[in-house]
Structure 1
Amino acid sequence: MGDRRRGIPTTCRCGEAVRMGTSRTAKNPGRLFHSCPNGSDEDRWYHTFKWTDESMVEEIEDLKLKVKNVEEDSISLQKSFNACESEVETLQMETRVCEAVVEKELQECKMELRSLKNMIGCVVVMMLVYFFLF
């Protein structure tokens, strides 16, 4: 029977590279196969022999599964990306709100600072008037 791995075989268990050939038998005329060049009918159980059409069906089945997995991963990735975009938008909005709050508080602090400067100025003037008058 040969190699039990799925898909198109590339190497035999003996380490030799597998080659593609065409059947010349009456039972399978013109049918493509993959086989080990060291194999023979007596030791086919050890050396690789596999019909190409069967290998191709396995390859296609495996590729269909891989494509399905890629599609599922793509959908999951798109959902994660959309969630990240939404989070970024939320953070941008929160940043704008914080900037507005900080700007408002900064304006209030500036106003308080001006008031304190005016009060200190008044106190200095009153002290000067007091010292000069008394």
Structure 2
Amino acid sequence: MSCTTGSSVCREVRQESIGVPMRCWCGRKVDLLVSKTNENPYRRFYRCQGVLQRKYESHLFKWVEVAMPEEFEEQRVEIGKAFSELERMAWEISGLGRSLKSEMGKLEAHVCQLENDVKVREAEACRNTQRGVVGVAPHLVLAVCVAGGLALVYKALCG
């Protein structure tokens, strides 16, 4: 196997591995081993499980001190992307909150207008009753009662 100490993978590798490898290009799992050579005593490295069965093929080999900084950099980039997405979502939620507040203001104004209309209709009905006017349409009375009830429910829920 022709690997150099500074290289993260063998020269004949088919697929470059960035960060901590999980699998070799051949599909086999990667082991974390410790070097027992005089040149690299107790130095940790990743190696494909299939390297011993297939001597003449180049399989994954990577020193831990090469893999870890790559892994940290990859994670730093992913965390940066996540923070950017969170900022975008916060901005979007803030805009939705402003929009909701605006819509609630419009609805409150509409409810106030309906309450005023109900009061005016009730006053007219009272005046007509005092004058002796008969024949107020029953569906109008029902609509006034329903609108008044809805206004009371809205006030109770929204304060």
Q: How many residues align?
A: 120
Match of 2:143 in 1: none
Higher mean alpha-carbon deviation, 92-101 vs 8-17, is at 8-17
1:84 corresponding residue in structure 2: 96
CA distance in 1, matches of 2:79, 2:114: 51
Give per-residue Cα distances to partners, 1:13-37, cap 9 Å, x unaligned: 3332110111223332222111013
Match of 1:33 among 32, 37, 45: 45
Q: Please report the RMSD computed on the Cα atoms of aligned residues, expressed in angstroms.
A: 2.1
What residue number does 1:74 align with?
A: 86
TM-score (norm 1): 0.76
1:114 alignment partner in structure 2? 126
Cα separation, partners in 2 of 1:51 and 1:44, compared to 1, 3 Å: farther
2:111 matched to 1:99?
A: yes
> 1:132 is matched with which residue?
none
Unaligned stretches of 5+ in structure 2?
Answer: 1-9, 135-159
Q: Which runs of 5+ in 1 are unaligned?
A: 122-134
CA distance in 2, matches of 1:75, 1:13: 37
Identity of aligned residues (%): 19
The structure with more radius of gyration: 1
How far does residue 44 in structure 1 lie from its aligned partner after superposition? Answer: 5.4
